[in-house]
Structure 1
Amino acid sequence: MTTHRTYQGQQLELFQARGGDIAARDAQDLMSWPFFSLAKSRRVRPIDFKMGDVAIRVEATAEHGMATIWDADILIWAASQIVEARDKGLRTSRFMSATPYEILTFINRDDSARSYERLKAALDRLQSTTVVTSIRQPSERRRHRFSWIAEWKERLDDKGRPLGIEMILPDWFYAGVLDNALILTIDDAYFDLTGGLERWLYRLVRKHGGRQTWGWSFDLQHLHLKSGSLSPFRRFRFEVRAIVARQPLVGYRLAMSIDPDGRERLTFRPVSPEKAASKRMQRVAP
């Protein structure tokens, strides 16, 4: 196993991921803005988003397609590992190593050969998707360009069986993870959410609603723009209403309302820990 790597002039020391019960952490920048495709079908059309001083362009290759919100589970795993180790006083690095089993178990997927192939496809999409953004840049005229994973490779034994995966995270993502103010703990039940839109909504709700008693709200037109979704607004509104009817987001209660000017609004507020635990049990019941 390689223990050091030189990448773009930096000497990187290998950070070996740890197993065990580690809380899931997410990066607030990734929870707030449209960085990923919400569709399971391949997306090549770029996300081109601008709101105030925030500018984001996400570009995909025809070969792999854009990184999806399910692929972002790998980044949640990486953020969780880094924060856990840092909080224990251990040295971290954006050069990481883990077994496929460790990653797949954390994101609540089985360790079958099919899951491993999907993991490698996700890593390919994360590596080939390019992001250009003004977020966390000192000047409005500056842009940071990166891929979600700068490099990755798999290690095999002499019989071709997987031993592990090594990856290098981009500076932009790693710096955000190390900033306590930019990281939030999320519920493990997030990984059970199957729809791209409901996953995106959970992250947005967790970021904006947090633990506030009265929650938060967004008008649907604003939500549609912020999602980066290719669905027309009418379809987006239908899907949001269906999510409100199902109430799949553990820890939050969703509702629809109408503003005096006729605009539809999605509201959400935290539920009691007892209700959240009950909903969690319903999700895992046979």
Structure 2
Amino acid sequence: MRSLKTSDGEAGQLDLFVGAGSDIAARDAQDLMAWPFFSLAKSKRVKPIDFRMGEVAILVEATAEHGMATIWDADVLIWVASQIVEARDAGKATSRLIAATPHEILTFTRRGTGKAGYERLKAALDRLQSTSIATSIRQAGARRRRRFSWINEWRERLDDNGRALGIEMIVPDWLYEGVLDRALVLTIDPAYFALTGGLERWLYRIVRKHGGKQKGGWSFDISHLHAKSGALSPLKRFAFEVRAIVRRQSLPGYSLALEHQFGRERLLFVATPVDPFAAARRRIGLPPVEKDV
């Protein structure tokens, strides 16, 4: 047990939780999948996300130095959620103070494990720590908000030659509580990490959250999706990019289609049958097998 000063000024004792490594199922927090918490662009974003829909209010603010945490940075939080759920299901104790090696995180998220990958990981941790969130989600009453950063604090441990030995980070109560709730976590396809576009990644997460394994699938107006994305691009550009994703059919586990009714464009998505062989290849990071035509 170690004494730490958390970012909200509350001194406390946190046990160090060591993750189970990189060879585990990927899990994502449903609240993060359904709402606009991250920048969808790789370029630095400092303009806040100020989102309100019904009783849900979200304000995401970034610093000029680091910019807003991106949807690629959120891979670290998927790793965190996966580790906590894996330990919880095995009956092991968990904690908001989590230790790992950079190699474990990079391998789990299908990233390169060289020096460049490690530097990008550190930049992601800085953005996650410096991005501020205020939200009414899971708070009693729409006017009450919880304020936090995705990582309260983090540090790296180095050997005498400057090589990384590991990373320790503290995640906020809001995230930790949500991950411990079995009803608020979903397993995601490991092929998600191979998606290169920010909108593509966001669309997979919202499709997985709402489409699930329902036989009839789900659908959204494109304008509604645009509002929920928090993207800076105008609706016309957003719709153009969604159409391109539909043409590519690039979201693992789902078929996409578009329909037009009453002057509105709507995205439809339904879960596709699981091929056990293809799923096993995706789990270990192998590409799909080319089929003979």
State whether residues 153 and 166 of structure 1, in contact with CA within 8 Å, keep that contact through their aligned partners in structure 2. yes
Q: Distance in 1 between matches of 2:150 and 2:223?
A: 28
Corresponding letter in the other structure for 2:263: G
What is the aligned counterpart of 2:75 among 70, 73, 89? 73
State whether residues 178 and 184 of structure 2, in contact with CA within 8 Å, keep that contact through their aligned partners in structure 1. yes
Corresponding letter in the other structure for 1:5: L
Matches within 5 A, 1:70-109: 70-109=72-111
Matches within 5 A, 1:1-286: 3-7=2-6, 8-259=10-261, 261-274=262-275, 277=278, 283-284=287-288
State whether residues 16 and 98 of structure 1, in contact with CA within 8 Å, keep that contact through their aligned partners in structure 2. yes
| Aligned CA distance change for structure 1 residues 25 and 142 (closer, same or farther; 3 Å) | same
Q: Give 1:131 shift.
A: 0.2
Helix, strand or coil for the counterpart of 1:141? Answer: coil
% of aligned pairs identical? 68
| Aligned CA distance change for structure 1 residues 239 and 116 (closer, same or farther; 3 Å) | same
Moved over 6 A (4+): none
List alignment gaps of at least 5 residues for structure 2.
none
> Which TM-score applies when normalising by structure 2?
0.93
Helix, strand or coil for the counterpart of 2:77? Answer: helix
Helix, strand or coil for the counterpart of 1:273? Answer: coil
Q: Distance in 2 between matches of 1:256 and 1:11?
A: 52
> Which TM-score applies when normalising by structure 1?
0.95
Corresponding letter in the other structure for 1:253: S
Q: Distance in 2 between matches of 1:75 and 1:186?
A: 13
State whether residues 36 and 67 of structure 1, in contact with CA within 8 Å, keep that contact through their aligned partners in structure 2. yes
Q: Could you tell which deviates more after superposition, 14-23 or 164-173? A: 14-23
Q: Distance in 2 between matches of 1:190 and 1:132?
A: 27
Q: Give 1:277 shift.
A: 2.9
Q: Give 1:285 shift.
A: 5.7
State whether residues 50 and 58 of structure 2, in contact with CA within 8 Å, keep that contact through their aligned partners in structure 1. yes
| Equivalent pairs, count | 284
1:140-186 CA distance string (max 9 Å, x none): 22110000000001000111111000000000000000000000000
Helix, strand or coil for the counterpart of 1:235? Answer: helix
List alignment gaps of at least 5 residues for structure 1.
none
Corresponding letter in the other structure for 1:274: D
Helix, strand or coil for the counterpart of 2:66? Answer: coil
Q: Distance in 2 between matches of 1:6 and 1:65?
A: 25
Q: Distance in 2 between matches of 1:275 and 1:232?
A: 40
Q: Give 1:284 shift.
A: 4.7
Q: Distance in 2 between matches of 1:235 and 1:21?
A: 38
Corresponding letter in the other structure for 1:196: G
